[in-house]
Amino acid sequence: MRYGMVIDLRKCVGCNACTVACKQENATPPGVYWSKVVQYEVGRYPNARMRFLPMLCMHCRQAPCLEACPTGATYRHPDGPVLVNDDLCVGCRYCIMACPYEARSFNSEQPREYFPGQGFTPYEQQGYPRHPRGSIEKCTFCAHRLAEGKEPACVATCPAGARIFGDLEDPTSKVAMLVASGLARPRMEELGTEPSVFYIEND
CATH code assigned at 120: 3.30.70.20
- Decide which of 134 and 177 is more confident: 177
Geometric angle at alpha carbon 175, from 41 and 60, rounded to 5°: 75
* Domain count for the chain: 1
Q: What is the pLDDT of residue 106?
A: 94
Residue 40's pLDDT band, with cuts at 50, 70 and 90, is very high
| Closest CA relative to residue 156, chosen from 168, 144, 145, 140 | 145
Residue 182: strand, helix, or coil: coil
Section 189-201 average pLDDT:
97
Q: What is the rounded average pLDDT for all residues in the chain?
A: 95
The reported pLDDT for the residue numbered 31 is 86
Q: Name residues whose C-beta falls within 8 Å of residue 129's C-beta, 6 or more positions apart in sequence.
A: none
Q: What is the pLDDT of residue 101?
A: 97
Quote the pTM value. Answer: 0.93
- Cα torsion 61, 56, 48, 201 to 10°: value is 30
Biggest CA–CA distance in the chain, Å, is 54
pLDDT above 90 for 100: yes
Range of the domain at 19: 3-200
Query: What is the pLDDT at residue 108?
Result: 87
Percent of the chain past pLDDT 70, that is, above it, reads 100
Distance CA 49, CA 71 (A): 45
Task: Tell me: pLDDT of 203 over 80.
Answer: no
Q: Predicted confidence band at 18 (pLDDT cuts at 50, 70, 90)?
A: very high
pLDDT of res. 112: 83
Residue 146: count of CB within 10 angstroms of its CB: 18
pLDDT band at 114 (very low <50, low <70, confident <90, very high): confident
Average the pLDDT over 120-146 and give the result.
Answer: 92
Beta-bridge partners for 36: 55
Segment 21-27 long-range contacts (CB within 8 Å, at least 24 positions apart): 21/153, 21/154, 21/156, 21/157, 22/56, 22/139, 22/153, 22/154, 24/153, 25/142, 25/145, 25/153, 26/127, 26/130, 26/140, 26/142, 26/153, 27/123, 27/124, 27/126, 27/127, 27/128, 27/130, 27/131
Half-sphere exposure of 134 (CA within 13 A, CB side): 4
pLDDT value of position 56? 98
CA distances to 29, 85, 124 from 110, rounded to whole Å, are 9, 18, 12
pLDDT over 90 at 11, yes or no: yes
Residue 43: how many other CB atoms lie within 10 Å: 10
